[in-house]
Amino acid sequence: MDRGEYDVCTYCGRSIFPGVAECPYCHNYTDGKGPLGLEHDRPRAKWFVVVAWIAVVAMLLPLLWALWRLFRR
Ligand SMILES: [Zn+2]
User: 48-73: per-residue pLDDT in tens?
Assistant: 889 999 999 999 999 999 999 998 87
For ligand 1, the distance from its centroid to the CA atom of residue 44, given in whole angstroms, is 23
List, as ranges, residues with CB under 5 A of the ion ligand 1. Answer: 9, 11-12, 23, 25-26
For ligand 1, the distance from its centroid to the CA atom of residue 2, given in whole angstroms, is 17
Residues 10-23 have pLDDT tens digits of: 889 899 888 888 88
CB 43 within 8 A of CB 37: no
How much is the pTM? 0.41
Q: Left (φ > 0), alpha (ψ -120 to 50) or beta: where does 13 sit?
A: left
